[in-house]
Chains A and B, each alone.
Chain A
């Protein structure tokens, strides 16, 4: 019989080691991306690399705290944590500090805190708590709507602070819902609408609507065994048409110019190759430079602190959202693939652990953690490599920034604590 003490601390070291590797490697790249000239002191508080070291130091304290707290605490106080988080987001409208057009920060002393980074784990806890409630049946529309409301509140508040990128992250919860049993039709609808939206922008409204109608009717006439009312396909077609127009309207009238441009470059909406090149160079300058930095790394990279484009600060915001371009330039194909592999391992590991959980709360939360990390990974690295339009969100554990590092650390380590505790449950 094991003592309860050892049982309490059956930590998943694989996740922790992956976490440490990512944070450590991230720090090296921040050092490289933010250092200008000789590094006189690694603790230079005027420089991002100096601050990041302090952030990492604080993270250790955070981890100890999180692991020290009773696992039950997180489930019991999930709603309260969520409430505090929402209040902190609302408070931004009064006390918030505007940086680069987004009112997402509290300035405390010389430090800034970004509550939206903490809202992610709070929302994940709240969602887990709600879904795992015995009364909740996620298969029913009523409960689906209520769960979505939990997500929409912080997402909407963040959108109002003009931080569209962080809002998109809340879409991650779709994976959680799907795992917990929402009908598959949502997946199909979601997939179809995404396709339709992209097609509407790329090929125009009318061809997309026609194609949608064609597919729907083909399905109706040839695939369905039991033919239902003809009104069904007509209705679906009408919805598609409205959606297509809505997307076009949304793109042209609601999206801001820079957002339009990003999508335009991504979908190659400009046909003239020279103009496209010019757009790439001027409008999506960051992307242009980050792609060049990455490809200049070659197989083995130029070496730590030796990236000429990094030294020349060709990629703006390189130590934050574009940190992966430093990896690409200085560590080459080998180094950047390693980072991708580490992330995939970490996410898969969390998914694996989540499936092992006995309590639904822990499982849902674990899924939330994996989904949020995945969406960040997908959007950030995809953006830096030009695979998806520019959306400015950080790369977990990697990008410079205290709030982001702490937010993700809390997110991950609450789950590690929950997982460590699973033997004590029942």
Chain B
């Protein structure tokens, strides 16, 4: 035993030491990360964020310098808090609060202590910064908007949140990241590469030279400038026209799929979301749950398409061979169907309808017949519905279009299975779902889907995925935007339908006859969609949505457009007028329809929007 005492003690101590090393280095020690090593100072150099230009080269978004006070809590040494607070113009409570927040996030990593110093404060502070260990000033670039339009398209940047930082090590606390619009879609191009210099420190916090001769340093690379397909002038005009209204305008260049304008109303000034006031303003916009300015209605507002959908009903019926140009029906102010002689009303005035005047006068009966024939062509309604659904979907409806903006809605194009589920123990047929024939029923679309549908019609059978990007400096736009998507409708069927859409404007009884623009051949279609909301759980009908789709010129389409005005009553009333004005503005560069412009600009729909909130009974469709 005497021989063993020292021997065993030595072994025991050896084991304890290895155990302690294991605890320190393997168990408690996280794998080495240079970014967390406080012996290495990290100096970040934020590159210029890429500029954003419109399709005509007009600068929309530039940068402005901004200075943040950063803190690394564990490196903070006792300081003259009074002096520091007075330099930053904050109270001691603010100081404590900010410090605690930073310390809670991480004592090792830098956090933003105070964001966006004014230039004057920066000048004063930068000289005295040496005195405050653990604090430093970080220069960043904020956005500087050269315009007040297109907030929904341009998006905004803001501090990356913790979740993002955990997911993507590129971002550090306080880094700015695109949160919406093209800032988000093209974040990687716009942000460039953040430069990092690693500097070896000694224990007195002095720099003693570059870490490993700067081998690990990352050279900053400026972000790429991008050109977006928006026509700033058209966009501004659209936003003006939509003032005091709610809704969206989407205009697409059919030949390329480029989005010419994407208006959402009400909107906000992008400058509100810059700098110190950003989060305050953002909260204000976010909390406006009545007019919801942050919702891009052009991309997100799902609604029943209404009559513009008739163009697709016609095309599918032609493709399936169940009607031709000469097919005629007699409209008796409606369409009677089913065992109980149910009737779908029609406002076309009645009479004999062919395809052409069916479209131009928007005859419900004609399309109810065409739709019914399409479905009844097959013995099985489910199979027929699937075929019909595939035709419709080939126009980009019923699913995400795949455009390069970060938000969207699928919409809905029902198929056989959809109704099988809806009517589990009932043999449904064409007449059960006849509302789809006139764009009501279960069909749901977004304005951008409608605009894209018009682009596909304008191109006589194909479309390019709509996109906002026109050019990325030093690189090319994604290939998927150069690819034609063909619809399942043969090219020859488009002629008569387009003629019908043309006659909407040109023929005497056309629903948009009064919206003609001199010198421009427009094809379009009005739409009016009934809509309901629940007020105190009572289903209440509101004034119809005003919808209009169009493209122009007829034989060399330069613009396809969809306009959606919430509760604007019949299609031609608001959406149609706005559509004609936009087309004229874009094609001619000026507007001659001054009386129409004046009316649109002056008339407000705010009163209409207040009705449901008034608590009083109200009348609609006045």
Residues of A whose CB lies within 8 Å of any CB of B are 36-37, 175, 178-179, 181, 187, 289, 291, 294-299, 302, 306, 308-309, 311-314, 316, 328, 332-333, 336-337, 340-341, 343-344, 347-348, 351, 355, 367, 370-371, 374, 377-378, 381-382, 385, 387
Contacts and interface: CB of A to CB of B under 8 A. Distances in A.
Contact of A308 (B2, B25, B26, B211): B211
B11 interface: yes
Given A298-B32, A314-B202, A348 B212 contact: no
Contacts of A308: 34, 37, 39-40, 200, 211
Nearest to A316: B203
B208 A344 contact: no
A313 B25 contact: no
Given A178-B2, A296-B37, A328-B25, A337 B18 contact: yes
B5 A175 contact: yes
Contacts of A333: 21-22, 25-26
A385 B26 CA distance: 14
B20 A289 contact: no
Given A294-B25, A341-B14, A312 B6 contact: no
A419 B468 CA distance: 87
Nearest to B6: A175
Contacts of B208: 36, 311-312
Majority-rule SS of A interface residues:
helix
Given A37-B209, A308-B200, A308-B211, A297 B6 contact: no
A336 B21 CA distance: 8
Contact of B25 (A295, A306, A382): A295
B610 interface: no
B533 interface: no
B29 interface: yes
A36 B209 CA distance: 11
Contacts of B202: 312-314
Contacts of B7: 348, 351
17 contacts: A181-B2, A289-B203, A298-B32, A302-B32, A308-B211, A313-B203, A332-B25, A336-B21, A337-B21, A355-B3, A370-B10, A371-B6, A377-B13, A381-B17, A382-B13, A385-B17, A385-B21
Interface string B504-518: 000000000000000
B24 interface: yes
Given A295-B29, A297-B25, A298-B26, 14 more contacts: A179-B6, A298-B31, A308-B200, A312-B203, A332-B25, A333-B22, A337-B18, A337-B21, A341-B14, A348-B7, A374-B9, A374-B10, A385-B20, A387-B16
A340 B14 contact: yes
B328 interface: no
Majority-rule SS of B interface residues:
helix
Given A298-B29, A340-B17, A340-B21, A312 B200 contact: yes
B161 to A, nearest CB: 29
Interface in B124-176: none
A6 B11 CA distance: 34
Contacts of A343: 14
A181 B3 CA distance: 10
Contact of B28 (A289, A295, A336, A344): A295
Nearest to A346: B10
Name the 8 nearest CB pairs between A and B, nearest first.
A344-B14, A308-B39, A295-B29, A333-B25, A295-B24, A312-B39, A314-B203, A175-B6
Contacts of B21: 294, 328, 333, 336-337, 340, 385
A184 to B, nearest CB: 8
Contacts of B200: 308, 311-312
Interface string B553-595: 0000000000000000000000000000000000000000000
Contacts of B24: 291, 294-295, 328, 385
Contacts of B209: 37
Contacts of A295: 24-25, 28-29
Contacts of A36: 208
Contacts of A344: 10-11, 13-14
B101 interface: no
A178 B20 contact: no
A203 B589 CA distance: 89
A370 B20 CA distance: 23
A214 B576 CA distance: 99
Nearest to A313: B202
A382 B10 contact: no
Contacts of A382: 13, 17
Given A333-B22, A336-B21, A179 B31 contact: no
A385 B23 CA distance: 11
Given A181-B2, A336-B21, A296 B10 contact: no
B201 interface: yes
A371 to B, nearest CB: 6
A172 to B, nearest CB: 9
Max chain B C-beta neighbours (<10 A), residue from A314, A333, A371: A333
Contacts of B32: 296-298, 302
Contacts of B34: 308
Contacts of B22: 333, 337
Contacts of A348: 7, 10-11
A31 B474 CA distance: 49
Given A179-B2, A340-B18, A378 B13 contact: yes
Interface in B24-51: 24-26, 28-32, 34, 37, 39-40
B94 to A, nearest CB: 22
B10 A351 contact: yes
A18 B211 CA distance: 35
Interface in B79-137: none
Contacts of A37: 209
Contacts of B13: 344, 374, 377-378, 382
A402 B131 CA distance: 42
Nearest to A387: B20
Nearest to B74: A281
Contacts of A371: 6
Max chain B C-beta neighbours (<10 A), residue from A36, A296, A341: A296
A334 B40 CA distance: 24
B10 A347 contact: yes
A43 B40 CA distance: 29
A140 B139 CA distance: 79
Contacts of A187: 5
Contacts of B28: 295
A360 B387 CA distance: 105
